[in-house]
Amino acid sequence: MSNKPNLTLKDIKVEIEGREILKGVNIEIKGGEIHAIMGPNGTGKSTLASALMGHPKYEITSGEAHLNGEDLLEMEVDERARAGLFLAMQYPSEISGVTNSDFLRSAVNAKRGEGNEISLMKFIREMDSKMDVLEMDQKFATRYLNEGFSGGEKKRNEILQMMLLKPGIAILDEIDSGLDIDALKVVAEGVNSMRNDEFGCLIITHYQRLLNYIKPDFVHVFMQGRIVKSGGPELAERLEAEGYDWVKEELGIEDETVGKG
Ligand SMILES: Nc1ncnc2c1ncn2[C@@H]1O[C@H](COP(=O)(O)OP(=O)(O)OP(=O)(O)O)[C@@H](O)[C@H]1O
Ligand SMILES: [Mg+2]
């Protein structure tokens, strides 16, 4: 019997510097499920990702978040990662002086905990095999973390990190932005290689194209700091074909963004 991971959000509200950006987000992501969030710019999608990872600037003012039944909001940032939550960021940061492989190994060991560190040999073997899947050159192991990486290389590196950390729940923020078609397929392959009951995923994307390669079970539309509509893969196809106006009309939304004024 496997224990399926589960991330449940109830009416999550978030403020940044006193301005309310998220206005009540409800979602449940279970192991084995892929959810996609699509939505216009500036509607709060990345804010949701950052707030869940515990970014100090994003204050969760009300609502509940549970990861595998435990109160996520009570956990420190490192505890969230150890409990199996992972975020691939829209804009990954560069760290000079720290090699990619040292960073990745530290992250893996931090998750495994003291006394249970992975052996160097085993780590390198695993990293090599994942880099093969992602068609990454070995030189990326010894380069400084993200420093001078092209946009596409950074995205591949985020997925490499995910594949090594094996999170229960992953949030992938615009993992497809800036990827050429071949890279898109490779990144999708990386995500698909993780698909099983012990892995649930929330993909934030602007383009249905990614969802041709990673078939979502659920598609949610994000506007005004919350999910305003949910459906299956057909919803993403309609958004790609027709844009967001029909959703706004249907729901009587004039300005879909948040945080103005
Ligand atoms: N750290 C921050 N400081 C100040 N304002 C912020 C911060 N993060 C987000 N915001 C504001 O919150 C609003 C929502 O931003 P967010 O990045 O969540 O949008 P998004 O839906 O991810 O957009 P995009 O599709 O362009 O990535 C924006 O008005 C943004 O300027
Ligand atoms: Mg964003």
The 10s digit of each residue's pLDDT in 229-259 is 999 999 999 999 999 999 999 999 999 999 8
Distance (angstroms) between ligand 2 centre and the Cα of 42 equals: 7
User: What's the CATH number where 86 sits?
Assistant: 3.40.50.300
Cβ atoms 45, 204 nearer than 8 A: yes
In a domain, 60, yes or no: yes
Does the structure show a pLDDT above 60 at 1?
Answer: no
Tell me how many degrees the CA angle 76-92-231 measures, rounded to the nearest 5: 80
Is 161 near ligand 1, meaning CB less than 6 Å away?
Answer: no
Write the pLDDT tens digit of every residue in 60-119: 999 999 999 999 999 998 899 999 999 998 888 899 999 999 999 999 999 998 999 999
In a domain, 110, yes or no: no
Looking at the chain, the whole-number percentage of residues with pLDDT higher than 70 is 99
Question: Per the confidence metrics, is the pTM higher than 0.85?
Answer: yes
Q: What's residue 261's pLDDT?
A: 61
Cβ atoms 156, 187 nearer than 8 A: yes
In a domain, 134, yes or no: no
- Residue whose CA is closest, atom 24 of ligand 1? 41
In a domain, 77, yes or no: yes
Q: What's residue 234's pLDDT?
A: 96
Distance CA 15, CA 259 (A): 9
Distance (angstroms) between ligand 2 centre and the Cα of 223 equals: 12
Which letter, b or e, does each residue of 14-27 get, where b requires 16 or more Cβ atoms within 10 Å of its Cβ? bbbeeebbbebbeb
Q: What's residue 184's pLDDT?
A: 95
Longest dimension (CA), the chain: 58
Q: What's residue 135's pLDDT?
A: 94
Looking at the chain, the whole-number percentage of residues with pLDDT higher than 90 is 92
Write the pLDDT tens digit of every residue in 6-61: 999 999 999 999 999 999 999 999 999 999 999 999 999 999 999 999 999 999 99
Is 205 near ligand 1, meaning CB less than 6 Å away?
Answer: no
Domains in the chain, number: 1
In a domain, 22, yes or no: yes
Distance (angstroms) between ligand 2 centre and the Cα of 36 equals: 13
| Residue range 162-173: mean pLDDT, rounded | 96
In a domain, 137, yes or no: no
In a domain, 130, yes or no: no
Q: What's residue 260's pLDDT?
A: 77
* pLDDT mean across residues, the chain: 94
Atom of ligand 1 nearest to the CA of 259: 29
In a domain, 256, yes or no: no
Domain housing 228: 6-93+149-251
Q: What's residue 3's pLDDT?
A: 81
